[in-house]
Amino acid sequence: MSPLRQYTLLSALTVLLGASIVIALSSGSVSVPVSSIWQQLLNPVPGIEQQILWELRLPRAMAAFVTGGLLALSGVIMQVLLRNPLADPYILGISGGAAVGALSVILLGVASIWITQAAFAGALLSVFVVFGLAGRQQWSATRLLLTGVVVSAGWGAIINVMLTTSNGNNVQSMLFWLMGDLSQSRTGSWHFALLLTGLLLILSQARALNALARGELMAAALGVNVSRLKLLLYFTASILTATAVTVAGSVGFVGLVIPHMLRLLGARDHRWLVPCSVVLGGSFLLLADSLARTLVAPQQLPVGVLTAMIGVPAFLFILHQGARSR
């Protein structure tokens, strides 16, 4: 694909991101006209609109963007690391570990501010358990994948025990967490800093990723220090995923589908795929969350439900188009 087309794609995605932000800020139970969004953002006038924008929608939009960007970036990394198109950020059990942490807090009835910390701790525990079991000596992609999938299944069993033994009230909060939900999400500037750092770090390795996608031996023959690269990829993807999960629970589908959509649109070179994924992943979650808030208003749906509802048809459509044009 020529650089011109890649630039066009990235520009189009950036425009989409802008539109997604506007939609996320203006839609909701009280709709804020686009004209007053600008005014309120640049020059806030105290009032109900100012409160809704600054205290509710903007923080939530920021959380949606960061989560989407982190998950899509992590998905790209995992797919290359495991050289498996079905890989997603959760495949190695990070979300399972985080869920066990978060659900324990809900189950124990501890103050909900601890959910974030417990989820992060659970995610890290899972990262190190999988690495300890699969990563010590020669860690092949298959061994890593199998270990991750099995550890994941183990977490799944614990989650089911927690769900079946809890009372109704807790179960609902647990399900929201498991499906991914942004209603309680808050992000700080460090989330953005982490996303940016991850993006730059992976961009610096983008060409090596192109080589790794053709196999570890090929990458090594082309001068890539494969074992160092794999370590970097594993731990970067893990931290990105763990952070995303602590912001919004395990929002599904973004990390799996966004990279594939972009590959089908022609961005297979990781120097383009990586930044495009962050932008599209962020936009996608912004739009999904806008729908989650408005579709059955005043009730809210977990955003994870919407990512699948939009993602499945969109992905199948692009897949079908791609197959026809070949």
Partner 1 sequence: MTVPIVQTRQLRLQMGERLLCEQLNLTVQAGQRLAVLGQNGSGKTTLLHALLKLGSVDEDRIEIDGRALSQWSRAELARRVGILFQDNHDDMPASVHETVMLGRLPHLPAWRWEREKDFAMANQALTTVGLEHLARRDVGSLSGGERQRLAIASLLTQAPTLYLLDEPSNHLDIAFQISTLSLLSATVKRDHSALIMATHDINLASRFCDHTLLLHGDGTYTFGPQADVMTDETLSRAYGCDIRHVVTDAGQFFYPFT
Q: Give the count of residues interacting with partner 1 (CB under 8 A).
A: 27
Interface residue with partner 1, options 14, 36, 50, 84 (CB under 8 A): 84
Q: Under DSSP, is residue 271 helix (H, G, I), strand (E, B) or coil?
A: helix
Interface residue with partner 1, options 85, 132, 188, 313 (CB under 8 A): 85
Piece in contact with partner 1 (CB under 8 A), picked from 59-67, 158-166, 215-223, 299-307: 215-223
By beta-carbon proximity to partner 1, the closer residue of 175 and 220 is 220
Write out the DSSP string of 100-127: HHHHHHHHHT--TTHHHHHHHHHHHHHH
- Contact between 143 and partner 1 per CB under 8 A: no
Interface residue with partner 1, options 14, 183, 207, 294 (CB under 8 A): 207
Tell me the C-alpha to C-alpha distance, in Å, between residue 206 and each of 92, 123, 246: 22, 26, 27
- Contact between 210 and partner 1 per CB under 8 A: yes
* CA 292 – CA 183 distance, rounded (Å): 10
* CA 52 – CA 176 distance, rounded (Å): 23
Interface residue with partner 1, options 168, 217, 298, 299 (CB under 8 A): 217
| Helix, strand, coil distribution of the chain in percent, nearest 5 | 75, 0, 25
Interface residue with partner 1, options 6, 67, 79, 173 (CB under 8 A): 79
Tell which positions 250-269 bind partner 1, by CB under 8 A: 263, 268-269
- Contact between 246 and partner 1 per CB under 8 A: no
Ramachandran assignment for 162, one of left (phi > 0), alpha (psi -120 to 50 degrees), beta (any other): alpha
Tokens 């701790």 found at: 121
Interface residue with partner 1, options 15, 221, 296, 297 (CB under 8 A): 221
- Contact between 197 and partner 1 per CB under 8 A: no
CA 274 to the chain's CA centroid:
13
By beta-carbon proximity to partner 1, the closer residue of 80 and 248 is 80
7-46 footprint of partner 1 as x/- string (CB under 8 A): ----------------------------------------
* CA 14 – CA 44 distance, rounded (Å): 26
The CA angle 17-281-125, to the nearest 5 degrees, is 145
List of residues contacting partner 1 (CB under 8 A): 1, 3, 79-80, 83-85, 204, 207-208, 210-211, 213-215, 217-218, 220-225, 263, 268-269, 326
